[in-house]
Structure 1
Amino acid sequence: MHSLHRALFQPRRIALVGASSDPKRLTARAQLYLRKHGYQGDILPVHPREAEVLGERAWPTVADIPGTVDFAYILLNTPQVEGVVEAVAAKGIPAACVLADGFAEAGPEGAARQSRLLATAKRAGLRILGPNSMGVVNLNDRIACSVNAALEADSLPAGRIALVSQSGSMMGAIMSRGAARGIGFSHLVGTGNEADLTAGEVAGLLVDDPQVDAILLFLEAIREPRHFADLARRAHAAGKPVIAYKLGRSPYGAELATSHTGALAGSDAAAEAFFRAHGILRVTTLEALIELPALARAARPPAQPKRAVSVTTTTGGGGAMAVDCLGVAGIEARAPDAAAGAKLDAAGIAHHGRLLDLTLAGAKPDRVAAAIDALQAAGDTDLVLSVIGSSAQFRPQDAVAGIVRARDAGGAKPVAAFLVPQADASLRLLAEAGIPAFRTPESAADCIRAWCDWQAPRAAAAAPAVAHALPARPDEADARHLLAALGLTSPFAVLRSPQDPAPDLRFPVALKILSPDLAHKTEVGGVRLYIPDAATLAAEAAAMQARVAAAAPAARLTGFLVQPMAKGLGEAILGFRRDPEVGPVVLLGTGGITAELFRDVTLCLAPVTEHEAMAMIAEVKGLRPLGGWRGLPRGDLAALARAVVALSRLAAREDIAEAEINPLIIHPGSEGVTVADAWAVPAG
Structure 2
Amino acid sequence: MIQLRRALFEPRRIALVGASSDPSRLTARAQIYLRKHGFAGDILPVHPREAEVLGERAYPSVADIPGTVDFAYILLNTPQVEGAVEAVAAKGVPAACVLADGFAEAGPDGAALQARLVAAARGAGLRLLGPNSMGVVNLNARIACSVNAALEADELPAGRLALVSQSGSMMGALMSRGAARGIGFSHLVGTGNEADLSAAEVAALLVDDPQVDAILLFLEAIRRPELFAGLARQAHAAGKPVVAYKLGRSPYGAELAASHTGALAGTDAAADAFFRRLGIARAHTLEGLLELPALLVGRTPLPRPRRAAGVMTTTGGGGAMAVDCLGVAGVEARPPDAAAAAALDAAGFPQHGGRLLDVTLAGTKPERVASALGALLAAEDTDLALAVIGSSAQFRPGDSVEGIVRAHDAARAAGNPKPVSAFLVPQADQSLRLLAEAGIAAFRTPESAADCVRAWCEWCMPREVAPAEPFSHGLPERPDEADARRLLAALGLPSGFAVLRSPDDDPGGISWPVALKILSPDLAHKTELGGVRLGIADAAALKREAEAMRERVARAAPDARLTGFLVQPMARGLGEAIIGFRRDPEVGPVVMLGTGGVLAELFRDVSLRPAPVGMEEAREMVAEVKGLRALAGWRGLPRGDLEAVARAVACLSRLAASGDVAEAEVNPAIIGPEGAGITVADAWAVHA
Q: For the residues of structure 2 that align with 1:188 and 1:423, how far apart are their CA atoms?
A: 26
Q: Residue 372 of structure 1 corresponds to which residue in structure 2?
A: 373
Q: Residue type of the partner of 2:625?
A: V
Q: Deviations over 1:152-186 (max 9, x none)?
A: 11101101100000000000001110000000000
**What is the CA-CA distance between 1:250 and the residue it aligns to?**
7.8
CA contact under 8 A between 2:247 and 2:254: conserved in structure 1?
Answer: no
Is 1:424 the equivalent of 2:429?
Answer: yes
Q: Residue 401 of structure 1 corresponds to which residue in structure 2?
A: 402
Counterpart mapping for 1:327-406 below 5 A: 327-352=327-352, 353-406=354-407
Q: Residue 518 of structure 1 corresponds to which residue in structure 2?
A: 523
**What is the CA-CA distance between 1:266 and the residue it aligns to?**
5.3
CA contact under 8 A between 1:603 and 1:616: conserved in structure 2?
Answer: yes
CA contact under 8 A between 1:666 and 1:674: conserved in structure 2?
Answer: yes
Counterpart mapping for 1:40-189 below 5 A: 40-189=40-189
**What is the CA-CA distance between 1:344 and the residue it aligns to?**
1.2
Counterpart mapping for 1:581-592 below 5 A: 581-592=586-597
**What is the CA-CA distance between 1:429 and the residue it aligns to?**
0.3
Q: Secondary structure at the match of 1:183?
A: coil
Q: For the residues of structure 2 that align with 1:536 and 1:502, how far apart are their CA atoms?
A: 12
Q: Residue 311 of structure 2 corresponds to which residue in structure 1?
A: 311
Q: Residue 234 of structure 1 corresponds to which residue in structure 2?
A: 234
CA contact under 8 A between 2:301 and 2:461: conserved in structure 1?
Answer: no
Q: For the residues of structure 1 that align with 2:623 and 2:296, how far apart are their CA atoms?
A: 26
Q: Secondary structure at the match of 1:359?
A: coil
Q: Deviations over 1:323-375 (max 9, x none)?
A: 11111111111111122111211211112211110112443111101111211
Q: Secondary structure at the match of 2:463?
A: coil
Counterpart mapping for 1:437-456 below 5 A: 437-456=442-461
Q: Residue 259 of structure 1 corresponds to which residue in structure 2?
A: none
CA contact under 8 A between 1:298 and 1:414: conserved in structure 2?
Answer: no
Counterpart mapping for 1:262-301 below 5 A: 267-301=267-301
Q: Secondary structure at the match of 2:510?
A: coil
Q: For the residues of structure 2 that align with 1:23 and 1:248, how far apart are their CA atoms?
A: 37
Q: Residue 258 of structure 2 corresponds to which residue in structure 1?
A: none
Aligned match of 1:594 in 599, 604, 610?
599
**What is the CA-CA distance between 1:395 and the residue it aligns to?**
0.4
Q: For the residues of structure 2 that align with 1:497 and 1:155, how far apart are their CA atoms?
A: 80
**What is the CA-CA distance between 1:555 and the residue it aligns to?**
0.7
Q: For the residues of structure 2 that align with 1:407 and 1:536, how far apart are their CA atoms?
A: 75
CA contact under 8 A between 2:248 and 2:254: conserved in structure 1?
Answer: no
CA contact under 8 A between 1:363 and 1:388: conserved in structure 2?
Answer: no
Q: For the residues of structure 2 that align with 1:681 and 1:576, how far apart are their CA atoms?
A: 10
CA contact under 8 A between 2:424 and 2:445: conserved in structure 1?
Answer: yes
Q: Residue 262 of structure 2 corresponds to which residue in structure 1?
A: none
In the alignment of these two chains, the number of paired residues is 674
Is 1:244 the equivalent of 2:249?
Answer: no
Q: For the residues of structure 2 that align with 1:91 and 1:232, how far apart are their CA atoms?
A: 34
**What is the CA-CA distance between 1:191 and the residue it aligns to?**
0.5
Q: Secondary structure at the match of 2:292?
A: helix
Q: For the residues of structure 2 that align with 1:147 and 1:597, how far apart are their CA atoms?
A: 47
CA contact under 8 A between 1:575 and 1:587: conserved in structure 2?
Answer: yes
Q: Residue 466 of structure 1 corresponds to which residue in structure 2?
A: 471
Q: Secondary structure at the match of 1:469?
A: coil
Q: Residue type of the partner of 1:466?
A: F
Q: Residue type of the partner of 1:405?
A: R
Q: Residue type of the partner of 1:58?
A: A
Q: Residue 563 of structure 1 corresponds to which residue in structure 2?
A: 568
Q: For the residues of structure 2 that align with 1:359 and 1:298, how far apart are their CA atoms?
A: 32
CA contact under 8 A between 1:291 and 1:437: conserved in structure 2?
Answer: yes
Question: Which sections of structure 1, spanning at least 5 residues, go unmatched?
Answer: 256-264
Q: Secondary structure at the match of 1:662?
A: strand
Distance change in 2, residues 1:235/1:364 (3 Å): same
CA contact under 8 A between 1:578 and 1:585: conserved in structure 2?
Answer: yes
Distance change in 2, residues 1:430/1:147 (3 Å): same
TM-score by length of 2: 0.96
Q: Residue 2 of structure 1 corresponds to which residue in structure 2?
A: 2
Q: For the residues of structure 1 that align with 2:674 and 2:622, how far apart are their CA atoms?
A: 16
Q: Secondary structure at the match of 1:665?
A: strand
CA contact under 8 A between 1:351 and 1:357: conserved in structure 2?
Answer: no
Q: Residue type of the partner of 2:582?
A: R
Aligned match of 1:619 in 581, 602, 624?
624
Compare 170-179 and 461-470 and name the one that shifted more. 461-470
- Taking only the aligned residue pairs, the percentage that are identical comes to 78
CA contact under 8 A between 1:252 and 1:267: conserved in structure 2?
Answer: no
CA contact under 8 A between 2:266 and 2:586: conserved in structure 1?
Answer: no
Distance change in 2, residues 1:519/1:253 (3 Å): farther
**What is the CA-CA distance between 1:299 and the residue it aligns to?**
2.4
TM-score by length of 1: 0.97
- Aligned Cα RMSD in Å? 1.5
Q: Residue type of the partner of 1:381?
A: T
Q: For the residues of structure 2 that align with 1:144 and 1:77, how far apart are their CA atoms?
A: 21
**What is the CA-CA distance between 1:117 and the residue it aligns to?**
1.1
Q: For the residues of structure 1 that align with 2:430 and 2:122, how far apart are their CA atoms?
A: 49
Q: Residue 211 of structure 2 corresponds to which residue in structure 1?
A: 211
Q: Residue type of the partner of 1:561?
A: L
Q: Residue 662 of structure 1 corresponds to which residue in structure 2?
A: 667
Aligned match of 1:634 in 614, 632, 639?
639
Q: Residue 481 of structure 1 corresponds to which residue in structure 2?
A: 486
Q: Secondary structure at the match of 1:360?
A: coil
Q: Residue type of the partner of 1:65?
A: I
CA contact under 8 A between 1:309 and 1:383: conserved in structure 2?
Answer: yes
Q: For the residues of structure 1 that align with 2:108 and 2:250, how far apart are their CA atoms?
A: 21
Q: Deviations over 1:260-307 (max 9, x none)?
A: xxxxx9521111110000000011000000000111004223211111
Q: Residue type of the partner of 2:384?
A: L
Q: Secondary structure at the match of 1:87?
A: helix
**What is the CA-CA distance between 1:251 and the residue it aligns to?**
6.5
**What is the CA-CA distance between 1:595 and the residue it aligns to?**
0.7
**What is the CA-CA distance between 1:400 and the residue it aligns to?**
0.1
Q: For the residues of structure 1 that align with 2:298 and 2:3, how far apart are their CA atoms?
A: 31
CA contact under 8 A between 1:99 and 1:132: conserved in structure 2?
Answer: yes
Q: For the residues of structure 2 that align with 1:531 and 1:164, how far apart are their CA atoms?
A: 61
Q: For the residues of structure 2 that align with 1:617 and 1:555, how far apart are their CA atoms?
A: 36
Aligned match of 2:578 in 563, 573, 576?
573
Q: Secondary structure at the match of 1:174?
A: helix
CA contact under 8 A between 2:266 and 2:585: conserved in structure 1?
Answer: no
Q: For the residues of structure 2 that align with 1:140 and 1:594, how far apart are their CA atoms?
A: 56
Q: Residue type of the partner of 1:399?
A: S
Compare 298-307 and 96-105 and name the one that shifted more. 298-307
Q: For the residues of structure 2 that align with 1:492 and 1:601, how far apart are their CA atoms?
A: 28
CA contact under 8 A between 2:247 and 2:253: conserved in structure 1?
Answer: no
CA contact under 8 A between 2:349 and 2:362: conserved in structure 1?
Answer: no
Q: Secondary structure at the match of 1:464?
A: coil
Q: Residue 260 of structure 1 corresponds to which residue in structure 2?
A: none
**What is the CA-CA distance between 1:398 and the residue it aligns to?**
0.5
CA contact under 8 A between 1:566 and 1:665: conserved in structure 2?
Answer: yes
Q: For the residues of structure 2 that align with 1:295 and 1:639, how far apart are their CA atoms?
A: 39
Q: For the residues of structure 2 that align with 1:24 and 1:213, how far apart are their CA atoms?
A: 36
